[in-house]
Structure 1
Amino acid sequence: MEIKCSVFIAASVDGFIARADGDIEWLHRPEYEAAELNGMTYESFIASVDTLVMGRKTLEKVVSFPEWPYEDMPVIALSHTAFELPAHLRGKVEVMAVDPTTLVAQLAERGMQHLYIDGGQTIQAFLEAGLINELIITRIPVVLGQGISLFSQIGSEHQLQHIDTCVSDNGFVQSRYQVTRKP
């Protein structure tokens, strides 16, 4: 059985997922938090996945949150640099130094069926490896001007098939794409 790899991410209108220093507070404005959202909610998406795969930088950002948001979800952090997991995450996060193709094969052997791929470099690596099946990108109505790009300037072309787009009253525009496999 083929394992599905999905991206569910927010980006500014100019394509940034964080400010240059990694700050994402621009995502948490009160007018965004209170709005009713159209499209796929984070809750419905996260309920469909069985493992979260993120890069070390994304893990470091999530660790700074007041609470660990993935209590009932296996989390794999990809890193080729050694780092110490905080004590409260031991047994909750598995750190691995493997390429995306090897990781997907290993997780498929463990019976995983749907991976949530998160973090700019990790998303790009999985996309370049031809492993991403679905992109769900929510554009936030702000132009940051600079920051960490969702897609880098390095990489190859990938054809996408548009599935749907939903617009919310707060200005969020969520588009869902299927990645078309190269013949």
Structure 2
Amino acid sequence: MGGTIYYVAASQDGFIARGRGPGEWLRAFAGAGEFADGSGEAAHVAEFLAAAGAVAMGAETYRSFVTDPGSWPFGSIPVWVFTHHEFPGISGADITFVRGDVAEFHPDILHDAGQRDVVLTGGGNLAGQFLDSGLVDEMVVTVLPVSQGSGLRLTHVVEGIDPAGAREPSMGSAVLQRRYDLRR
């Protein structure tokens, strides 16, 4: 059975979002070239999606896809959106809108994922709820070579996680990826 993994990108000064915005700053890195292992960004995204059996995200992350439905990368992977808002669906996507405690829905998300991973994506609010509930097995932080100066800090989300336990596979000359094993 797969695990529950939080994937997040952070600026080198430790921010994961500007203000309340989802991740517009990340678009500057789309197609940024090859990583140290010789593969391109597309190969890493394909690997990430191949491991995903289900995805969980919050309202702000989903909102970014609603405004640009052509950017929907999840195909028919089941996606769970935690929100208090009403949103339209995306044609061809398998989306379940829920509100409530993440622990209540986690067994159903795991069921949807089957033998693959549940992937948490997007900002820190939802990830913080999963982390606080002890439901995250691994956290993958990709640190990009940009400073934001303000916004939502990664440390706000991951307080209490020991950075000494991180593995840091190289992804390129300026991109660092930290992997934290949080299995209890």
TM-score calculated relative to the size of structure 2 = 0.81
Deviations 1:80-122 (A, max 9, x none): x141324x35862110113121111223345634200112211
Q: How many angstroms apart in 2 are the aligned matches of 1:45 and 1:132?
A: 16
CA shift at 1:51, angstroms?
0.3
| 1:147 is the counterpart of 2:145 | no
Q: Is the 8 A contact 1:166 1:175 kept in 2?
A: no
Counterpart selection for 2:102 from 97, 100, 103: 100
Q: Which moved more, 1:115-124 or 1:101-110?
A: 101-110
Give per-residue Cα distances to partners, 1:8-41, cap 9 Å, x unaligned. 22110122222114163432336x6242024782
Does residue 16 of the first structure (1) align with residue 11 of the second (2)? no
Offset at 1:156? 5.3
Structure 1 match to 2:27: 28
TM-score (norm 1): 0.81
Give matches, 1:57-136, under 5 Å: 57-67=60-70, 68-79=72-83, 81-86=84-89, 88-89=90-91, 92-110=94-112, 112-113=114-115, 114-119=117-122, 120-136=124-140
Q: Which runs of 5+ in 1 are unaligned?
A: none
Name the structure with the higher strand share: 1
CA distance in 1, matches of 2:3, 2:34: 28
Q: CA RMSD for the aligned pairs?
A: 2.6
Tell me the SS of whatever aligns to 2:75.
Answer: coil
- Identity in percent: 26
Asked if structure 2 preserves the Cα contact closer than 8 Å seen for 1:124 and 1:151, the reply is no
Q: Which runs of 4 or more aligned residues in structure 1 lie more than 4 Å from their structure 2 counterparts after TM superposition?
A: none
CA separation in 2, counterparts of 1:173 and 1:23?
Answer: 21
